[in-house]
Amino acid sequence: MDGKQVNKMADQRQAGTSYQLAQEIFVQGLAGDPANREFMGRHNRTIQFEIEGEPPFIVEVRDGRVAMREGVLADPDLGVKANPDVFRQVFRGLMSPGEAWMDDKWWVGGAFSDYVGTSWMMRLIKAGIRSRMQQIW
């Protein structure tokens, strides 16, 4: 392990992993706020997250509830591929998920026609961030 890797690991410990941040936004923020229940319950989707250098994880939104676990799904409904920096900026509300997608900073998507799912996922992230910010402040 070289110095750069050690520094990167130190940074990650300080900042938390992408999984932890996603948990904070999806589980604490999104699912922890009753105001989001109707919106969350509109669709059921599995989302596969692949963040560079970190273990892949899955977010499952079903019947208005959120479950998360590490792993890889053979056939997810939606996918997110990003480097940790972009992921953190989006999940901290510092970067728009749509703008990041347009600028090729991360890949977000689902089946060709699943704009419903893609749009819903981006708005879930924003709703989760909003709720988490309200909980904190």
Partner 1 sequence: MLSGLETADIMEGVHNCVVNCAGVKRGENVLIVTDTLTEERIVQALACACKERGADVVTIIMKPRDWPMQEPPEIVAEAMRHADVIFTPIYYSISHTRASIIARLEYGARYINLPTLSMNSLKSEAARFPAPVISKIYEKVHEIWGRAKTIHITAENGTDVRGKILSKFYTGGMPHFPMQEGEFLAFGGAMGIYGMWPGGEEGDANGEMYFDAAHMFVGKLEVPLKYVIRKGRVVEVEGGKEAEHFRNIVKNVPNGDHLAEWMIGLNPKARIILDQDVTHVEAHRHAGSLHTAIGNSKVLGGTVYANVHLDNFIIAPTMTFDGTVLVDKGKLVVLDHPEVQKVASEYGVSW
41: contact with partner 1 by CB under 8 A: no
Checking DSSP bridges between strand 45-51 and strand 78-82, what pairing results, if any? parallel
The answer to whether 110 and 117 are in contact (CB under 8 A) is yes
Cβ at position 74, least distance to partner 1 in Å: 11
Cβ at position 114, least distance to partner 1 in Å: 8
26: contact with partner 1 by CB under 8 A: no
128: contact with partner 1 by CB under 8 A: no
119: contact with partner 1 by CB under 8 A: yes
Number of residues that bind partner 1 (CB under 8 A): 23
The answer to whether 44 and 84 are in contact (CB under 8 A) is no
Cβ at position 124, least distance to partner 1 in Å: 11
Query: 13-34: buried (b, 16+ CB within 10 Å) or exposed (e) per residue?
Result: eeeebbbebbbbbbbbbbbebe
